[in-house]
Chains A and B, each alone.
Chain A
Amino acid sequence: MATTHTMGAFERSLAALDVGFSRTDPDGFEAALSDTITEPAVGARLGFEGLALPESVTLDPSPRELEEAVTGVTAASFAVAEYGSLILPSTPDGSEIVSVFCDHHVAVLAESDLVLDVPTAFARLSEEVGEARASAIVATGPSATADMGELVRGAHGPKTVDVLLVEGL
């Protein structure tokens, strides 16, 4: 379980990045998610036991559905409180793709998957990415560029990001 210190650091980091944050429990998950998404929405299976995406979220989307979707919903493998970073895995059902192509990304995070700092995160990444020879993105805030004269959010990836933290998971 995340300590109060870790949770506080996470909330401050997300606020500084302009990333939305809300919390729910497994029972309230569907309602909380519906409040967060804008349809049309696409998604990738979350992989948390007892937690399914509502029907309003299209799984295994076609390229057209992917392009037309406003929100993309995916699970984060874990998150780093001090930086507000989300670890987004590369999966066969296209989690990473959904998280980068849509204008709005909603990341679902289990409370137990919040770690404090980079050294702790790297220990876990070493195992889940390095040893497993897998792939993941460390995503910190929305996509951004300053190439056109000033900071703009949503250069190629999402313009806005929300984190939905599920307590008790």
Chain B
Amino acid sequence: MSTDRAETAARLRELLETEGDSVKANTAVFNRGRYDSVAELDDYEELKDRAREIKEDAIERLPELIDELTESVEENGGHVYLASDAAAANRYIEEVCLEAGAETLVKSKSMTSEEIEVNDHLEQAGIDVTETDLAEFVLQIANEEPSHIVAPAIHKSREEIARLIETVFDPDDPPETAEELTMFAREHLLEKVKAADVGMTGANFLVAESGTMMLVTSEGNARKSAVAPDTHVALAGVEKIVPRFEDLAPFVELIGRSGTGQDLTSYVSLLTPPVESPAVDFDSPDVPGFGGSDAEREFHLVLLDNGRMAMREDSDLQETLYCIRCAACSNTCANFQHVGGHAFGGETYSGGIATGWEAGVHGLDSAAEFNDLCTGCSRCVPACPVKIDIPWINEVVRDRINHGTGGEFDFLVDGLVPDAEEGGPDLQKRLFGNYGTLARLGSATAPVSNWVGSLPPARLAMERLFGVDRRRPLPKFQRETLVDWFEGRGGPRVSAVDAEREAVFYADAYTNYVDVGRGKATVRTLEALGVHVRVPAVPESGRAPLSQGMLATADEAASAVYGTLAEHVDSGRDIVVVEPSDLAMFRSDYEHLLPERSFDRLAENSYEILEYVYGLLENGAGEERLRAGQDRVAYHSHCQQRTLGLEGYTEAVLERLGYDVLTSEVECCGMAGSFGYKRQYYDLAVDVGHDLVDQFERPGERDRVVLTSGTSCTDQLDDLMAREPIHPIELIAPE
């Protein structure tokens, strides 16, 4: 296990050095483009809702839609083959080629064709296959795998491509600029298109009622591949079917914007094959009418199952089938931005949703290769045009991976940790999944626990056994917990009778045992604003085990928390939370762990602390009771807090009190709960963290007070910057 972690760490370091810069530069352009492009849509949310509805309905009715599509394509004069797996699809495509007497085939980009590895299969059958998408062409001559599902050569710089072309083709005048490289490839590939006997494409969408396929492209190679040869083979997963032609409309507006930040890609092909365009017979170069070919057009649609119909029956993986492969979840993901799809991907697919795809089509082993790179930061959730809960899919698959492999030292932790996992998760996951218990023990034995925890032999043992990186400072546990402090001061200082509102402040494990200061500041602030505050002991939210894929433990935690808080909610008390990752449990993740009514009640009555303060001020609470100031501050809002759309409240309160606020521009700080503690991910977490540090360390910004709302962001910035971050509530709390 320890060796595996060292290998993973070394592999990630290598990719950070070799491919990281290129991937980061490109994904940053796509991600920024997405924000700008969707901001132009007045009806962005409605379009996403509509897209989601269409996909839900289509997957629900998939068997009948397959029949309807088959009928439509056959009426149009084409053929449909439903391939149960990759081998069946490859066999069929080979037969089509053989019957057409084909020696050469040109392809446009298709991830589904990567999934079945059709190129290898056809080449073994003696057919010359050429990728005509420029990026795929580069990968084909480099003999490499895609590192991104939309821009597959995103990891290669222009200089690398120029060297590759020079080595492979040895041209008289080697192309160097992007323009020259593009023209070189265009000319080379045009000859391949002219010689091709068969053209093969994928399909982004298929319309059951008409047999129309939609292809979203930019270069024009798919247009040429589909139309120039007289035989066209289209390969698509069964999940690409939508019922009606008009269902394509929201996707046309969403797919380019979500993926590469383009309002519309250059070409959206709406083909109802066989098409009416004549095939071009380049073997008769001087015959008018495109060579005068009288061959009848042939069209074959290969619909691929390969695990998809089983995913449809799997309530947790089913959502994966809604994916339109736009790559928004890759571009928005901080870890992906730094290492790309060669690390953050399995056999075929990469990025956040790839865990679902790989688990469904290739199996858990392929998903296990990269699943832990999803930290659950949730920034992909608002980016996804079909609103897939991508972190949840990752957590479910992590849970399945955990239980598919037996931990070797389980007996060591079984007695120590109270989780509900039987066998399964490795020691590292069980350690971090039981953070609450460890924090309680650490606090009860502080300061001894802190001294022991800082000793080199202890750190070495923790690194070897649990994979806790020696370089990462550990949390400093406080002997007096927040709950004890609150009881010790005599409980609430604003009586319920005098109070405008009553609130229960949720003492999360970190606030209760480690950062007690932000808890005290919360209590002081709320009381200054006239709120009757209680700080009861409440169980851990389950965030820690959920992030480790320990679903049974997270589920027990959710029930226990709800059991403790339900009476308060029923008594009209608001639940106020300072830790955003715990609030996100109450407002979002519990949807999967609690009955709907329980989830709704807790979600509707839970507030982030600055969201709550904002509401109190708006309702007339005196802001003069808070600490105003002209300080310049640099604020980094926790990733899950931003996904809930709550960062604006903190900014608004700070500005109202006179502070000058600079807000961070990164998706995530890189620490992501326990991720940055783990030996195999420490370097990546630090690399991601430096994006944020760089922004806050720019000349002219170094005097700003650093504010962070999340525990892991606080730890990360504390480790990477000289300035010690505080929670915004600590800045504005009265003395």
Contact = CB atoms under 8 A, between A and B. Distances in A.
Contacts of A157: 219-220, 223-224, 266-267
Contact of A152 (B179, B249, B252, B284): B179
Contact of A83 (B178, B219, B264): B264
Contact of A149 (B157, B248, B264, B276): B157
B245 A140 contact: no
The winner among A83, A85, A157, A158 for most chain B CB atoms within 10 A is A157
Given A64-B286, A100-B220, A135 B267 contact: no
Contact of A135 (B157, B272, B284, B285): B272
B161 A129 contact: no
Nearest to A64: B285
Interface in B178-222: 178-179, 181-183, 185-186, 189-190, 194, 207, 209-212, 218-221
A53 to B, nearest CB: 15
Interface stretch (B3-11, B51-59, B130-138, B646-654): B130-138
B271 A90 contact: yes
A7 interface: no
Given A60-B289, A96-B227, A137-B270, A85 B264 contact: yes
A62 interface: yes
B667 interface: no
A138 B268 contact: yes
Contacts of A2: none
A123 B282 CA distance: 37
B284 A134 contact: no
A35 interface: no
A61 interface: yes
Interface string A79-98: 00001010000111111110
Contact of B218 (A126, A134, A155): A155
A55 interface: no
A64 B282 CA distance: 8
Contacts of B134: 145, 147-148, 155
A158 B186 CA distance: 11
B93 interface: no
B291 interface: yes
Given A94-B290, A139-B267, A144-B218, A152 B210 contact: no
A137 B224 contact: no
Given A94-B290, A147-B138, A140 B265 contact: yes
Interface string A128-165: 01110111111111111111111110111110000000
B140 interface: no
The winner among A95, A96, A123 for most chain B CB atoms within 10 A is A96
B219 A156 contact: yes
A152 B271 CA distance: 26
A118 interface: yes
Given A126-B246, A147-B151, A152 B289 contact: no
Given A92-B277, A94-B277, A156-B189, A129 B266 contact: no
A161 to B, nearest CB: 10
Contacts of A97: 227-228, 277-278, 280, 290
A129 B249 CA distance: 13
Interface in B145-185: 151, 153, 157-158, 161, 178-179, 181-183, 185
Interface in B672-730: none
Interface residues of B, number: 70
Nearest to B280: A63
A140 B211 CA distance: 24
B290 A146 contact: no
Contact of A92 (B186, B189, B218, B276): B276
Given A60-B288, A97-B290, A129-B245, A148 B221 contact: no
A75 interface: no
B273 interface: yes
B439 to A, nearest CB: 47
A144 B266 contact: yes
A134 to B, nearest CB: 6
B291 A96 contact: no
A66 interface: yes
A63 B284 CA distance: 7
A110 B186 CA distance: 32
A145 B189 CA distance: 14
Interface residues of A, number: 53
A141 B266 contact: yes
Interface in B463-487: none
A116 interface: no
A21 interface: no
B559 interface: no
Interface in B591-634: none
B249 A96 contact: no
Given A62-B290, A157-B219, A137 B76 contact: no
Contacts of B153: 147
A97 to B, nearest CB: 5
Contacts of B494: none
B537 to A, nearest CB: 55
B276 A135 contact: yes
A119 interface: yes
Contact of A156 (B75, B132, B278, B288): B132
A149 B164 CA distance: 14
A145 B134 CA distance: 8
A130 B245 contact: yes
Nearest to B287: A62
Contact of A150 (B158, B189, B194, B248): B158
Given A95-B277, A130-B212, A157-B220, A139 B266 contact: yes
A60 B135 CA distance: 33
A148 B280 contact: no
B182 A155 contact: yes
A134 B77 CA distance: 12
Contacts of A139: 266-267
A48 interface: no
Interface string B246-280: 10110011000000000111111111110111101
A148 B181 contact: yes
B181 A62 contact: no
Given A136-B270, A137-B270, A63 B133 contact: no
B152 to A, nearest CB: 9
B281 interface: yes
Given A126-B245, A129-B245, 11 more contacts: A90-B276, A92-B276, A97-B228, A133-B211, A135-B269, A135-B275, A136-B270, A137-B270, A138-B252, A139-B267, A156-B224
18 contacts: A62-B287, A62-B289, A92-B276, A122-B248, A125-B245, A130-B212, A131-B210, A137-B269, A138-B267, A138-B270, A140-B263, A143-B219, A143-B266, A149-B158, A149-B178, A155-B182, A155-B185, A157-B224
The 9 closest A-B pairs by CB, nearest first: A157-B220, A149-B158, A130-B245, A155-B219, A156-B220, A147-B134, A147-B135, A138-B268, A148-B181
